């Protein structure tokens, strides 16, 4: 069994919309997968099934040998601790510093201060945010905030990182820097990544697998090419 598997997954929302039709997808440990496709293709639904925000209408979602759609509710916090999420709406603490936002997940885990500092230093360096370490988040540009979100999602080196349209409204250069940072940090931390985007231009310069969704179906997967 692979690290992550969708097996004959269908998702029909309560309003009758068929968001996913017979999704079969296997992702190996450490892979970087771009999930591409137009708005409404089903990309976010795939993410929601992985964190069990939604459950499939039929079929199974497996992650590290666990059937996510059948997990007991008491195991959900464990599942979600092992997934780093780059949120579209950022969810940063504006009146706190870059450093404070970054180490927030580590504080929750009770990590030692010295280890926290080291992890933060490495992440800030890759994201070129060292000089902003003690700046308040509200002073940052949009691109810097988005990079900080990437840092916060990956700093605890989760097994799986999910980024749903993380480049948002960023201009080409900021988007490129953000994706580069995500790429490098996840390579170093050994995390598997699924990044959804409808903007194919942004990912063109990156290596990695490309899975194309359209109207809820996988229409192309370059792992087979």
Ligand X SMILES: Nc1ncnc2c1ncn2[C@@H]1O[C@H](COP(=O)(O)OP(=O)(O)O)[C@@H](O)[C@H]1O
Q: What is the contact surface with ligand X in residues (CB under 6 A)?
A: 13, 15, 17, 19, 37, 39-45
CB of 9 to ligand X, least distance (A): 12
C-alpha to C-alpha distance for 107 and 119, rounded to whole angstroms? 12
- 132's contact among ligand X, Mg ion, none, with CB below 5 to 8 A by partner kind, is none
- 17's contact among Mg ion, ligand X, none, with CB below 5 to 8 A by partner kind, is ligand X
CB of 155 to ligand X, least distance (A): 26
C-alpha to C-alpha distance for 84 and 72, rounded to whole angstroms? 20
67 phi and psi angles, rounded to 5 deg? -85, 100
CB closer to ligand X, 115 vs 219: 219
CB closer to ligand X, 123 vs 149: 149
First to last CA, the chain: 22
CB closer to Mg ion, 43 vs 132: 43
Q: Which residue has the tokens 């040998």?
A: 65
Q: Which residue has the tokens 């480049």?
A: 167
Asked if residues 178 and 161 have their Cβ atoms less than 8 Å apart, the reply is no
Residue 172, C-beta contacts closer than 8 angstroms, at least 6 positions apart:
201, 202
Residue 167 in contact with Mg ion, rule: CB under 5 A:
no
CB of 135 to ligand X, least distance (A): 32
Total residues interacting with Mg ion, rule: CB under 5 A: 2
- 42's contact among Mg ion, ligand X, none, with CB below 5 to 8 A by partner kind, is ligand X
CB closer to Mg ion, 123 vs 195: 195
- 174's contact among Mg ion, ligand X, none, with CB below 5 to 8 A by partner kind, is none
Token digits of residue 221? 């997967």
Q: What is the 3-state secondary structure of 162-216? A: EEECCCCCCCHHHHHHHHHHHHHHHHHHCCEEEEEECCHHHHCCCCCEEEEEECC
Asked if residues 51 and 83 have their Cβ atoms less than 8 Å apart, the reply is yes
CB of 165 to Mg ion, least distance (A): 6
Residues 26-45 that bind Mg ion (CB under 5 A): 43-44
Going from the C-alpha of 172 to that of each of 193, 204, 205, 207, the distances in angstroms are 21, 12, 12, 17
CB of 187 to Mg ion, least distance (A): 25
- 56's contact among Mg ion, ligand X, none, with CB below 5 to 8 A by partner kind, is none
Contact residues for Mg ion, defined by CB under 5 A: 43-44
């Amino acid at each position: 069994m692979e690290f992550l598997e969708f097996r004959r997954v269908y998702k029909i929302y309560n309003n009758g919309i068929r968001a996913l039709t017979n999704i079969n997808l296997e992702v190996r440990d450490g892979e970087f997968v771009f999930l591409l496709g137009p708005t409404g293709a089903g990309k976010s639904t795939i993410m929601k099934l992985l964190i069990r925000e939604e459950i499939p209408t039929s079929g199974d979602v497996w992650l590290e040998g666990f059937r996510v759609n059948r997990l007991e509710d008491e195991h959900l916090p464990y599942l979600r601790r092992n997934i780093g999420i780059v949120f579209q709406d950022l969810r940063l603490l504006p009146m706190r510093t870059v450093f404070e936002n970054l180490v927030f997940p580590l504080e929750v885990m009770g990590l030692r201060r010295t280890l926290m500092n080291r992890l933060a230093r490495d992440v800030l360096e890759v994201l070129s945010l060292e000089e902003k370490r003690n700046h308040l988040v509200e002073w940052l540009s949009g691109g810097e905030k988005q990079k900080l979100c990437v840092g916060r999602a990956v700093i605890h080196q989760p097994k799986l990182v999910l980024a749903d349209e993380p480049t948002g409204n960023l201009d080409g250069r900021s988007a490129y820097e953000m994706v580069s940072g995500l790429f490098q940090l996840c390579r170093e931390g050994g995390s598997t990544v699924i990044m959804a985007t409808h903007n194919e231009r942004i990912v063109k310069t990156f290596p990695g697998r490309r899975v194309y969704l359209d109207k809820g179906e996988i229409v192309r997967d370059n792992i087979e090419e």
